[in-house]
Structure 1
Amino acid sequence: KPITDIADDIGISAKTVRKHLDRMMENRLASFSIQWMPHKNNFVTVFHIILNEGTDMNSTLKHINEKYSQNIAYCLNYSNIPNLITLHTWAKNTQDAQKIQEELHTEGFKDVIPHIFIDAKWFDCWVDQLLRTK
């Protein structure tokens, strides 16, 4: 929705809306997302990649993003699980997903564990309920 429409809806200037949105984004108080369902048309696999001790996380993430860019939805690492990367991929079919898995196994990681998405559900949270009451 355009900022000008939001400003008109709540009766303030577009500049004020932009200022508040910027502040909310900086403080991670606003999240703009869609309920994306790639598994409806493609084959989605999340690979849990377990790294060997002492592996440089940044260079590994860079390598994965460069090598598998055409199949990556997103790639995450976690501060509370230091040797784990979750690589969220999609492929046209099971054969293409299998090729990604086989290639990952040649990378020298401690382990590569595939998780295949068959379905996904989106659930409302308190934010959705709050928006419906406004």
Structure 2
Amino acid sequence: MLEKHSYIVDASDLQLSKLLLINSRQSYREMAESLGISINSVHKRVQNLIDSGIIQKFRTNISLGAFSGIQVIIFGKTSLFSLNILKRNLVRDNRYYWVTFGAGNLVYIGAYLHSIDELSEVVAFAKNAADLSEVIVGIGPSFPIPGKINDLDKTDLQIIRELQYDSRKKASEISSIIGISAKTINKRISILSEKYLVHFTIDWIPNKKSDILAYLHLTIEDDYTPAQIESQINASYGENNVYCMQFSNLPNFLFSVWWVDSFEKLSKLRESIQSINGIKQIEINMMYDGVILETWRDKFLHDSIKL
């Protein structure tokens, strides 16, 4: 296996990664215009992120909302010492999509539920698989989705399947495989996007680099909302903040992912963030290993093509 080469990541790489996490099918020209850099620079940066192992796949998912599904994050202390052991335990259930190990034996596990009725079972399985203690469970917010899974016909599913592990695949390539015109494919892809039936994203693993990936737990004052704090973070610290996540069952909590190049930078950011009005407390957790898992959403695509 070829060793991933060393690559120094800068602010433009993080912004590029954020654009691709939101929509990995957008053109190099669109990304170049958003970042204020050349198309050639975008192309080189993307290739470097791939070569260094930070971008592992350009992925297409049927949106969780189309299934009326729910995202949850489970985190706590583990007695396990190996990510591979935990991965082997979790893959016995295809509802878990992501797991990350951090300092102090902290582990984060992401899961996709078909419905809230599965919550107790999913949490219990994760606690057992990771031997977790001090568990916190965050339930992702619900969003209205105009499109549902039954809106997808066989051709839509064929297109999504071709894009599943390569969201940037050209319509002309798909056309030669499924036998309809590239123009029709592009039109269908646009409709799928407009109805929020698909999400074009990337499998993004920044812990393959020497930079620091930090998960921040922000406790919010009662007079403020997580949304207000997230807005301030995005406005002032977008250069280092990857994304924030709010939980419907934790109204005074905001989960935030940060990517920095030194502990000194992280320390300064902590001091600065602590000064934001509305933040009561900050807990920083350093992450050092992670993996993305296949789930029932991926299996649905495979099974649907066989029908």
* Shorter-chain TM-score above 0.5: yes
Q: Percent identity?
A: 28
1:125 paired residue among 295, 299, 303:
295
Who is 1:106 aligned against?
Answer: 275
Distance 2:296 2:187 in 1: 24
Distance 2:272 2:231 in 1: 16
Who is 1:18 aligned against?
Answer: 186
Distance 2:172 2:247 in 1: 38
Give the drift of 1:100.
1.7
RMSD: 2.4
Partner secondary structure for residue 53 of structure 1: coil
Deviation digits for residues 23-66 of structure 1, max 9, x if unmatched? Answer: 33344332222221112221000111121112144443222112
Who is 2:251 aligned against?
Answer: 82
Deviation digits for residues 47-103 of structure 1, max 9, x if unmatched? Answer: 111211121444432221121111111122233432222221111022222222222
Partner secondary structure for residue 257 of structure 2: strand
Q: TM-score, normalised by structure 2?
A: 0.39
- After the TM superposition, which parts of structure 1 deviate over 6 Å for at least 4 consecutive aligned residues? none
Structure possessing the higher relative contact order (Cα contacts under 8 Å, 6 or more residues apart): 1
Give the drift of 1:116.
1.5
Who is 1:115 aligned against?
Answer: 285
**2:259 is aligned with what amino acid?**
W
Partner secondary structure for residue 120 of structure 1: strand
Who is 2:239 aligned against?
Answer: 70
Q: TM-score, normalised by structure 1?
A: 0.81
Any stretches of 5+ residues in structure 2 without a counterpart? Answer: 1-168
Any stretches of 5+ residues in structure 1 without a counterpart? Answer: none
Who is 2:208 aligned against?
Answer: 40
Who is 2:172 aligned against?
Answer: 4
Distance 1:98 1:131, change over 3 A: farther
**2:191 is aligned with what amino acid?**
R
Distance 1:78 1:68 in 2: 21
Distance 2:215 2:174 in 1: 37
Partner secondary structure for residue 28 of structure 1: coil
Equivalent pair of 2:213/2:287 in contact (CA under 8 Å):
yes
Distance 2:296 2:226 in 1: 35
Partner secondary structure for residue 224 of structure 2: coil
**1:117 is aligned with what amino acid?**
M
**2:268 is aligned with what amino acid?**
K
Equivalent pair of 2:217/2:254 in contact (CA under 8 Å):
yes
